[in-house]
Structure formats: structure tokens, C-alpha cells
């Protein structure tokens, strides 16, 4: 199993597997957040169900491991590619057929990571972490299971709305290249499916981005009294 960290193919395989797992989580999390648009009680039930319960804690640890592996291997591969290209970096940047996202995956990844840290501070630290610590209120004076009030308060702030929209845009660019690249790495890369996989990656990325964006825009407009 040493090839998984010693060889370029092994590292790309880890990136692909963890990446696909994270895409599935993004779809699940998006569906969970969309509940808030339709039902206050429904969203609070979801947040309570996914609180400091054993199954949610196991899933959280597993998700954290996936994120760490994905980002560590991403930066590792990016650094090795940077060193290997040397003076050919500029020429590669100008190569035809190479997408902007694929050329800037490291920068996009840093933005995605920054958004993730912000999101953990805004939600996880005020919900599941508060429950784990045995407290009944978070720093905002809300119950850790009152997810609706938390999301409602956060996205009434236009600053955080912009921050999250930028984060979602970075995720979109990351996914348009990442989903296609991951499936190719796993062996589904024949000529017939290359264009189809690109379309699939754009569809998946767009569905995820629109789902999350809908939640932010809805709650901001709601704070203005439009809903």
C-alpha cells in the first residue's frame, strides 16, 4: 500500500476517492440546508438529529479525516508539480484546452479551505461543539439545536452573505475540474466519455452551488422583509 503516498498515481487515487466522497457529502449537506428554506421546524429537527449523537460524531470524525487527506494530498501534488515544471510553468499556463480552474487549483483550494474554516467557526463551533461541551447555549445565546435561528441571524449580515457567495464560487470552480479529473483518474477516461464527464462535472458543480446560494439569498431577502 506504500504506492498510495510514494507514487504520483497513488496520490492522485487518494485525491480522487476522497474528492468524490466529499462531493457526495456536499450534495447531502446542500439538501439538508435546503430544508431551512421550506420549514423552520424541519430544519431544527435535522440539526437536532445531526447533533452530538454517536452516529453524527462518527460521521464528523470520518468527514474531518477525508478533508485533511484531500487537502494534504492536494497541496503535496501541487508542490511537486510546481517543482517539476520549473521554467515550463508559463508555457503550460498558456497551453490550449487547459481550463482556468485546472491552472489555478491551488489558489482556489486555499479559498475553499478559508471558507471551510469560516463555516466551522460560524456553525459547527456554535452547534455540535457546544453540545459536546455539555452547554445549553452558544456564544449567541441560542440553543445548539436551533439551527434555523443561527442561519437566519448569520445571513442577515450582508458581509457574510458575500463571503459565502465567494466561497461557493470557488467550490464551483474546484468541482468543475475536480469531478472530471477524479473520474478520469479512477479509469473512466475513454474518448467517448471525456466530453460527457465534463458536462457531468459542470452539472454537479452548478447544482451544488445553486442549492447553497439559494439558502444564502433566501435568508438575506427574508431579513429585508421580502419573505
Question: In this predicted model, what pLDDT tens digit does every residue of 136-165 receive, in sequence order?
Answer: 899 999 999 899 999 999 999 999 999 999
Closest CA to 114 of 174, 178, 61, 176: 174
**Residue 117 CB neighbour total at 10 angstroms:** 9
The helix or strand, by DSSP H or E, that contains position 128, with its residue range, turns out to be helix 128-132
Closest CA to 21 of 65, 66, 60: 66
**What was the pLDDT predicted at 188?**
63
**What was the pLDDT predicted at 53?**
82
pTM: 0.84
**What was the pLDDT predicted at 172?**
93
Judged by DSSP in three states, 141 sits in: coil
Taking only Cα atoms into account, the Rg of the chain, rounded to an integer number of angstroms, comes to 19
How far is CA 192 from its chain centroid? 29
Residue-wise burial string across 93-111, b where 16 or more C-beta atoms lie within 10 A, e elsewhere: eeeeeeeebbbbbeebbeb
**What was the pLDDT predicted at 186?**
64
Judged by DSSP in three states, 204 sits in: helix
87/86: higher pLDDT: 86
- Name the CATH topology of 12-223: 3 helical TM bundles of succinate and fumarate reductases (1.20.1300)
Which of 24-38, 96-110, 202-216 shows the lowest per-residue confidence on average (mean pLDDT)? 96-110
Residues 9, 184: contact at Cβ < 8 Å?
A: no
**What was the pLDDT predicted at 87?**
44
13/173: higher pLDDT: 173
97: which 3 cell numbers? 484546452
* pLDDT band, very low/low/confident/very high, at 90 (cuts 50, 70, 90): very low
86: left (phi over 0), alpha (psi -120 to 50) or beta: left
Amino acid at each position: 500500500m506504500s504506492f498510495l503516498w510514494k507514487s504520483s498515481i497513488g496520490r492522485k487515487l487518494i485525491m480522487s476517492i476522497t474528492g468524490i466522497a466529499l462531493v457526495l457529502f456536499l450534495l447531502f449537506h446542500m439538501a439538508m440546508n435546503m430544508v431551512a428554506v421550506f420549514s423552520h421546524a424541519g430544519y431544527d429537527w435535522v440539526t437536532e438529529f445531526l447533533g452530538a449523537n454517536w452516529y453524527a460524531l462518527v460521521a464528523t470524525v470520518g468527514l474531518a479525516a477525508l478533508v485533511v487527506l484531500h487537502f494534504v494530498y492536494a497541496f503535496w501534488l501541487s508542490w511537486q508539480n510546481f517543482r517539476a515544471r520549473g521554467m515550463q510553468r508559463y508555457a503550460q499556463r498558456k497551453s490550449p484546452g487547459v481550463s482556468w480552474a485546472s491552472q489555478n487549483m491551488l489558489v482556489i483550494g486555499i479559498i475553499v479551505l478559508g471558507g471551510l474554516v469560516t463555516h466551522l467557526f460560524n456553525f459547527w463551533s456554535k452547534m455540535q461543539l457546544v453540545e459536546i461541551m455539555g452547554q445549553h447555549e452558544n456564544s449567541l445565546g441560542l440553543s445548539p439545536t436551533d439551527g434555523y435561528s443561527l442561519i437566519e441571524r448569520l445571513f442577515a449580515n450582508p458581509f457574510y452573505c458575500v463571503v459565502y457567495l465567494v466561497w461557493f464560487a470557488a467550490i464551483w470552480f474546484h468541482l468543475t475540474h475536480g469531478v472530471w479529473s477524479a473520474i478520469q483518474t479512477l479509469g473512466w477516461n475513454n474518448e467517448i466519455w471525456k466530453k460527457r464527464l465534463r458536462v457531468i462535472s459542470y452539472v454537479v458543480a452548478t447544482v451544488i452551488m445553486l442549492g447553497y446560494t439559494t439558502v444564502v439569498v433566501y435568508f438575506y431577502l427574508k431579513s429585508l422583509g421580502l419573505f
